Amino acid sequence: MKRSLSVLWWTCLIALLISSQFVPQKKVSAESANHPNKVSRDIIGKVASGKGADLVRVIVQPSSPWDTTVDTTLQQSGGSNIRHFQNFAVRVVTISANAAVALASRNDVSYVSLNRDVQSLGHLSVTTGADQIRTSSGTNTTGLDGTGIGIAVVDSGIDLTHKSFLDRSNNLRVVHSEDFTGEGRVDDPYGHGTHVAALAAGNGRISNAEFVGIAPNANIINLRVLNSEGVGTTAWVLRALDWIASNRNIYNIRVVNMSLGMPAVDSYRNDPICRAVRKLVDAGVIVFAAAGNNGRDSNGNKIYGRIHSPGNEPSAITVGAANTFGSDARIDDNVASFSSRGPTRSSYVDENGNRQYDNLIKPDIVAPGNRLVEAQAMNNYLVSHNPTLDAGVSPVDNRKMMFLSGSSMSTPVAAGAAALMLQANSNLTPNLVKAVLMYTAQPLAGFNMFEQGAGELNIAGCVQLARSIRTDLTNATSLGSPLLSSDTILQPQTTIAGSTFTWSRGLILNQTYLIGSNLMTKYQPVYGTGLLLGDGVITGDEGLIPDRALLSDGVITGDQIMTSSGVITGDGTPFMALNDLMGGLLLDGNVFRDGVITGDGVITGDGVITGDGVITGDLILTAQSAMLNGENTSAMAADVDDGSDCIDY
């Protein structure tokens, strides 16, 4: 017995000495590591699979200020290409997987992890699912890129010299430009519109398609309504929308992007821009509007009721901002803290002299909008006043990229998705596009309907569903007719970046939500033109109920504003009763569980310009303030451009 213990003692001592000297020739098993919690699972997995002798690039973090003896040990154990940092006490080294596991047993090492590849190539297009529907495989023989669809960008202009707006034959895809500011120019001295247009439809020429837009071959119509300082007027916007109404057929303008806004003071019933948007939607044009960037006050407190105009218009698709934390995986996504929350607080005075708030549930969906990298206009105001916005991708003017954040960025991401849906099925109406976007969205756990609407944009799912919808639907199609072109039941799930999630399977509209599989298997007349989705709901003795002349059996309404469990619409914890919202009982200053509701649509603080008819670019001062107040700044990696054009996007 004593002999056995002695042998065991010497065996352990020898093993310890070997590990402390990091002899790379000795294979180290994952199971024998003294501190497996100090080494990443992918390194352990490599050793366990018999590949411990393979060289790997690892990051070594010390448990205390860096001890130079560790550097000596790294070299003695065969480490090479050791990288030091000026401000961080870590080392990056190439070493065998066995030696990496042994290294983790040292007391002066706190953690050893693999230097993983950052999946920056098309992060935005990967995490939204856009890449999946552009890949030709299986039965999907036609990759979608927005070809033939016109997207009108109502903004601060576009730098027409930027490489992002060429097609594969070097033709400019900005097919028309018009100035409504009176400055007599259609370029982008402010810098907002170029970035917005590239998010919706920028190509992948720069940095090997790392920053490809959502619909990279769509046509762009450049309508400049924000001046050199990013400010416009209601009249300029109305002129632009009027131009669209007159010229939409010439340029096949199916989508309008409005990454701008003004305080939503007047009810959508009276707001002139909202009414103009409604006319465009009734004519078959899909209008996307930014929710705004006023989700918190100057002290960082969460606030409600700050949806901008025209985002308060029921027929518009209002988009809030999600934060992807710079990763493709969607499991950690959430609603950006700066993103404006509903309900809409635009109002009117009724015949009895009482103020009535619209109190609509907005936004409709959220999309990535935090620290996105896209085209930088030459010598623009935003970068000249905020040099850190330059992403450092290229020194060449027409290849430069910049960081921007806000619902201004999330809106064109959704607009690009609509272009792909229309390319897949050109007969989709604005209401059907809106319904499909919401039905296929991913509900984000822990966020209520005022924050995320139906959930986060899912391009892979919405295009899949759009392909399946019949192409012969008209306003004369009868209630309850088959909506899909076949009897095949679509699985309401999508897998993106290895993570599978369930669709919301519901619609958020006006002051309630709808659920039921018939929403996407049976035709509902509210999907036609000239109606609002909300027209399918009426106020009865028992609250909000479906209008059975417009919605089929099997479609039901909810009675609570929900905080999502992350599964489907309607699941989760009640946030507030719909009767309170519908009855107009919300008063300015009322305290919700996690924030305060504000009123009258008057935006103050964070540098937002206010006043009658004044429109701001809905980004720089509000979004930058959100960053400075603590918003997570994880971003798309910005790899340096090598100067060569990539046309395989």
- Average pLDDT score over residue span 616-634: 37
Please determine, for residue 229, whether its predicted confidence score (pLDDT) is greater than 80: yes
Please determine, for residue 622, whether its predicted confidence score (pLDDT) is greater than 60: no
Position 36 confidence tier, pLDDT thresholds 50, 70, 90: low
Question: What 3-state class would DSSP assign to 127?
Answer: helix
pLDDT tens-digit series, residues 336-348? 999 999 999 988 8
pLDDT at 473: 96
- Average pLDDT score over residue span 572-587: 84
Q: Which of 417, 380, 412 is nearest to 620 (CA)?
A: 380
Position 649 confidence tier, pLDDT thresholds 50, 70, 90: low
45 compared with 522, residue with greater pLDDT: 522
Which of the listed ranges 33-37, 104-108, 184-188, 597-601 does the model predict with the highest average pLDDT? 184-188
Note whether 288 and 433 are within 8 A (CB). Answer: no
% pLDDT > 70, the chain: 82
pLDDT at 607: 30
63 compared with 392, residue with greater pLDDT: 392
pLDDT at 156: 94
Please determine, for residue 20, whether its predicted confidence score (pLDDT) is greater than 50: no
**Dihedral, CA of residue 177, residue 178, residue 179 and residue 184, to nearest 10:** 80
- Interatomic CA distance for residues 551 and 239, integer angstroms: 36
CA atoms within 13 Å, Cβ hemisphere of 122 = 24
Report the first-to-last Cα separation within the chain, whole angstroms.
70
DSSP state of 112: E
- Interatomic CA distance for residues 404 and 388, integer angstroms: 10
pLDDT tens-digit series, residues 46-72? 888 888 888 887 778 888 887 778 788
pLDDT at 542: 66
* Residue 309, strand partner residues: 262
38 compared with 155, residue with greater pLDDT: 155
Residue 566 identity: G
> Which of 27-41, 247-261, 553-567, 605-619 is predicted least confidently?
605-619
Please determine, for residue 365, whether its predicted confidence score (pLDDT) is greater than 60: yes
Mean pLDDT of the chain: 83
- Average pLDDT score over residue span 238-249: 93
- Interatomic CA distance for residues 453 and 361, integer angstroms: 7
90 compared with 527, residue with greater pLDDT: 527
Name the residues annotated as catalytic: 155, 192, 408
Question: What 3-state class would DSSP assign to 500?
Answer: strand
pLDDT at 478: 96
492 CB-near residues (< 8 Å, 6+ apart)? 440, 502, 503, 505
> Which of 49-53, 78-82, 568-572 is predicted least confidently?
78-82
Note whether 101 and 44 are within 8 A (CB). Answer: yes
pLDDT at 35: 58
- Average pLDDT score over residue span 348-368: 91
Please determine, for residue 294, whether its predicted confidence score (pLDDT) is greater than 50: yes
pLDDT tens-digit series, residues 92-102? 788 888 988 88
pLDDT at 419: 98
- Average pLDDT score over residue span 587-601: 71
Please determine, for residue 619, whether its predicted confidence score (pLDDT) is greater than 50: no
% pLDDT > 90, the chain: 52
H helices of 25-162, in order, are 41-48, 68-76, 97-103, 123-128, 130-134
Which of the listed ranges 25-39, 214-228, 587-601 does the model predict with the highest average pLDDT? 214-228
pLDDT tens-digit series, residues 314-331? 999 999 999 988 888 888
- Interatomic CA distance for residues 127 and 117, integer angstroms: 16
Position 123 confidence tier, pLDDT thresholds 50, 70, 90: low
- Average pLDDT score over residue span 381-410: 92
Please determine, for residue 22, whether its predicted confidence score (pLDDT) is greater than 90: no
Please determine, for residue 244, whether its predicted confidence score (pLDDT) is greater than 50: yes
Q: How many other CB atoms are there within 10 angstroms of residue 648's CB atom?
A: 8
pLDDT at 523: 97
Please determine, for residue 243, whether its predicted confidence score (pLDDT) is greater than 90: yes
φ, ψ dihedrals at 257, nearest 5°: -110, 125
pLDDT at 513: 95
- Interatomic CA distance for residues 222 and 61, integer angstroms: 50
pLDDT at 555: 94
pLDDT tens-digit series, residues 147-198? 999 999 999 999 999 999 999 999 999 999 999 999 999 999 999 999 999 9
Tokens of 104: 């983790």
Rounded to 5°, angle at Cα 564 from 561 and 570: 60
Domains of the chain: 2-114 (3.30.70), 123-628 (3.40.50.200)
